[in-house]
Amino acid sequence: MDAKQKKRYEVRANVLKALAHPSRLFMVEELSGKSRCVCELREMIGDDFSTVSKHLSVLKNAGIVQDTKQGTQVYYSLKIPCVLNFFTCAEKVLKQNLAEQKKILE
């Protein structure tokens, strides 16, 4: 693997790391429908404001979400909606794994 390839895989890994938390996965899914402010996401998740803000910061730094200020509120939306395709793929992997495990147990 050359340096250019290595950097490419590192960048990909950073996106996956940003998604590698249940709360952030939830946020991405919630933002697929509409923009939401931090206060809405905080209420849905049940974490404190600073924790939710940190999660959103991780997603923003990875280029997954974007923010816009409306008055005193900051609203977040998906920057790249195709990230939702990852969920579809991940669920296919989980279903396949479950099917294989069932065969082993039978």
List, for residues 63-79, the tens digit of each pLDDT value.
Answer: 999 999 999 999 999 99
pLDDT of residue 98: 87
Burial profile 17-43: b = 16 or more Cβ within 10 angstroms, e = fewer: ebbeeebbeebbebbeeebbebebbbe
Beta bridge partners of 37: 75
Structural domain boundaries in the chain: 3-80
Mean pLDDT of the chain: 91
* pLDDT band of 58, cuts 50, 70, 90: very high
Topology at the third CATH level for domain 3-80: Arc Repressor Mutant, subunit A (1.10.10)
Q: What is the value of pTM for the model shown?
A: 0.83
Inform me whether the pLDDT recorded for 88 exceeds 90. Answer: no
Closest by alpha carbon to 58, among 76, 81, 46?
76
Inform me whether the pLDDT recorded for 105 exceeds 90. Answer: no
